[in-house]
Amino acid sequence: MTAVRALHADDEAEVIDGAGDSYRYLIRGSESNGQYFVVEGVVPPGGGPPRHVQTREEEAFYILAGEVTFYAGGERIVGRTGSFVHIPRGVAHRFKNESDATARILFWFSPAGIEGMFDKMAVDPDNYATIGPEFGVEFLPDD
């Protein structure tokens, strides 16, 4: 059994950079019995990852502040503060901050495991296309 975990806004946490964004790890799979990985993303204007599909996990987003545009399953979804977006495994998607202000997003991945990809891409961001498949993620051309 894992321990109870509490992390407050001013507590130090691991932060990595990727896809032009900054990600603050809130809980890893090793701390949630492998059930989920949660990260807070700070997404500047123009930020966001390339189009990709995850084969192992569901992904959900909650917009804490700002506005982010999601492209998923043939839809364009503008998420604003308080919006929630769920992306089922197997659905190609991407998001981009198309606004002029920095956005903050909570990301949930279930089950956990994809944090290993985040770790590797933080060290070697230019090789995301070769790192992804190890974690069941395929990067695709933009739609």
Query: CATH no. for residue 38?
Result: 2.60.120.10
Give the range of the structural domain holding residue 98, as residue numbers without chain letter: 15-126
Burial class (CB in 10 A: 0-12, 13-18, 19+), 33: exposed
140 is a domain residue: no
Number of domains into which the chain is organized: 1
What torsion do the CA atoms of 9, 13, 14, 18 make, to the nearest 10 degrees?
0
Full-model pTM: 0.91
Query: What does each of the 143 residues of the chain score in pLDDT, given as a tens digit?
Result: 568 888 888 888 888 887 778 899 999 999 999 999 999 999 999 999 999 999 999 999 999 999 999 999 999 999 999 999 999 999 999 999 999 999 999 999 999 999 999 999 889 888 888 999 999 999 998 76
101 is a domain residue: yes
